[in-house]
Structure 1
Amino acid sequence: MDDLRRNRVRAFRARRAHFRRLVREAVASLPPELLARIENVDIVVEQRPTAADRKLAGVPPGQLLLGLYHGIPLPQRGSLGYNLVPPDKISIYQEPIESICRTDDEIREQVRITVLHELAHYFGIDDDRLDELGLG
């Protein structure tokens, strides 16, 4: 591997590690009573959404998708519980978020908003209500 490529790989890994840290900080900053209600959910950083993710979210070409909740929202799970199933997943997409932010503080804030937005879907809050709350 040449030096230029090696340096690009190092820079990418450093950016990815920093971005993951921002996502962990956003989750850790949630109120304890909210954190206690989150069960069986993986929050992952992905470079960008796949075509399947975009289709699932109903996001047309040319529009950004910053995050995506994959799963069954809590209110739809029924009273018998939700056992023996793989974890729900929240994907936070690094490249789209970085593309709309100019500074690290802007990235940190957008990550926080995106994590809250996707967790709201986990709790059964739809996009119209999120728009009303300023988390659209």
Structure 2
Amino acid sequence: MMGEAPGADAIEAIARATIARLPARFAEHLGAVVVLVEEVADDETLAELGIEHPLDLTGLYHGRPVGEKSSMESGAMPDRIHLYRRAILEEWIETEVRLDDLVAHVVIHEIGHHFGLSDDAMHALEDAPGDPGR
């Protein structure tokens, strides 16, 4: 592989394109979700999740799933999807999966947590016609 590794802007662009291709029934509930691309997860996050190596975490959803939210809540931080650039790039190199497919997979998985979806439901969403991960 030659050249520079894709930067945070490139990964964010793929993530936003993935979100833009989601079915309307999902996209209409994502208005307040913030996408953040960071190099690696911080030590506190890794410790909370019981993950020893920062390259083992490609993405993380922070927030309350849509079904658990209340209209009475105020002052809460916006829901966030964290994408960890170095871990994504490491997996990209190891698996040789296209970068856009890999980032889309991570984004869809984290969006699934936003909606409280099971892993099976997330895989079904990825495999659906018009799949944002393909």
- Write the letter of the residue equivalent to 2:108: L
Deviations 1:61-107 (A, max 9, x none): 476101011111122224x4443322111101111011011399621
Aligned to 1:89: 80
1:74 corresponding residue in structure 2 = 66
Name stretches of at least 5 consecutive residues in structure 1 with no aligned partner: 1-10
Q: Equivalent of 2:42, from 47, 50, 60? A: 50
Question: For residues 35 and 132 of structure 1, do their structure 2 counterparts lie closer, same or farther at Cα, with a shift above 3 Å needed?
Answer: closer
Query: TM-score by structure 1 length?
Result: 0.73
Letter in 2 for 1:42: V
**Residue deviations 1:4-62 (CA, integer Å, cap 9, x gap):** xxxxxxx57x6222222112211112112211012422111111111112123332347
Q: CA RMSD in A?
A: 2.6
**Larger Rg: 1 or 2?**
1
Could you tell me how far apart the structure 2 residues matched to 1:45 and 1:70 are? 13
Is the 1:57–1:68 contact (alpha carbons within 8 Å) kept by the matching residues of 2? no
Q: Report 1:1-136 matches (<5 A).
A: 15-61=7-53, 64-78=56-70, 80-102=71-93, 106-125=98-117, 129-130=118-119, 133-134=122-123
Structure 2 gap ranges (5+)? 127-134
Tell me the TM-score normalised to structure 2 length.
Answer: 0.74
Match for 1:84: what amino acid? G
| Secondary structure of 2:98's aligned partner | helix
Q: Could you tell me the percent identity over the aligned residues?
A: 24
Runs (4 or more) in structure 1 with deviation over 3 Å come to 60-63, 80-84, 102-105, 131-135
Q: How many residues align?
A: 120
DSSP-derived class of the 1:68 partner: strand
Amino acid at match of 1:65: L
Contact 2:32/2:79 (CA < 8 Å) preserved in 1?
yes
1:133, distance to aligned residue in structure 2 (A): 4.7
